[in-house]
């Protein structure tokens, strides 16, 4: 189920990007944005339920670690293309001063939407980080630091990669008495 939600989230995310940049259809943008919000909330609720009701925390944490890395790596092309489009907007402002008003208003909106997408992808990571705190594989300070890193561009992906490999060398399931 977790893989299904994350895959559906990524398909919706890329459809959202296409609808904004290529189709410029306001209805599709709104529908895909609402779908992204819905999938993010469903994922977060499912993750919290999964973490709190599972008897096998080792299996759950291992699965969530894989999903976290999968989602973070799969959004890299989206964020790179988004950055390039925003950079192109900056160049257009420099070359064509009459487009300043249009680009001046659209750039903050796109940056805000990008941050919302970062928050949505972090909803795949934060429950996993909390679970690792619950299993005592990360202490409270590490949990707070990793959650904060998940809310900062670029550092979220670096942190997800670090956590994936760092937590792979983990305790055996017999040591997880929570």
Cα–Cα distance for residue pair 83/94, rounded to 1 Å: 17
**pLDDT at 141 exceeding the cut of 90:** yes
Lowest mean pLDDT across 24-33, 101-110, 142-151: 24-33
Count of CB atoms within 10 A of residue 15's CB?
A: 16
Q: Residues 6 or more apart from 1 whose CB is under 8 A from it?
A: 46
Burial of 135 (0-12, 13-18, 19+ CB in 10 A): buried
- Mean pLDDT confidence for 74-93: 81
pLDDT of residue 158: 94
- Please give the share of the chain, as a percent, with pLDDT higher than 90: 15
Residues 75-111: b if buried by 16+ CB within 10 A, e if exposed: beebbeebeeeeeebeeebeeeeeeeeebeeeeeebe
pLDDT band for position 145 (cuts 50, 70, 90)? very high
Average pLDDT over residues 57-74: 82
Query: What pLDDT was estimated at residue 131?
Result: 84
The average pLDDT across 18-36 equals 65
pTM of the prediction? 0.75
Max mean pLDDT range (16-30, 41-55, 141-155): 141-155
């Amino acid at each position: 189920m977790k893989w299904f939600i994350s895959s559906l989230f990524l398909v919706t995310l890329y459809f959202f990007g296409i609808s904004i940049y290529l189709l410029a259809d306001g209805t599709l943008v709104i529908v895909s944005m609402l779908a992204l919000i819905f999938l993010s909330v469903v994922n977060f609720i499912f993750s919290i339920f999964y973490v709190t009701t599972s008897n096998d925390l080792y299996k759950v944490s291992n699965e969530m670690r894989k999903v976290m890395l999968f989602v973070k790596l799969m959004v890299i092309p989206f964020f790179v293309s988004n950055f390039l489009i925003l950079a192109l907007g900056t160049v257009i402002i420099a070359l064509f001063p009459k487009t300043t008003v249009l680009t001046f208003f659209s750039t903050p909106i796109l940056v805000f939407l990008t941050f919302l997408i970062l928050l949505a992808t972090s909803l795949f990571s934060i429950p996993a980080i909390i679970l690792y705190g619950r299993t005592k594989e990360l202490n409270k300070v590490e949990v707070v630091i990793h959650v904060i890193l998940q809310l900062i561009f670029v550092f979220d992906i670096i942190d997800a990669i670090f956590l994936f490999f760092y937590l792979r060398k983990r305790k055996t399931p017999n040591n997880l008495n929570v």
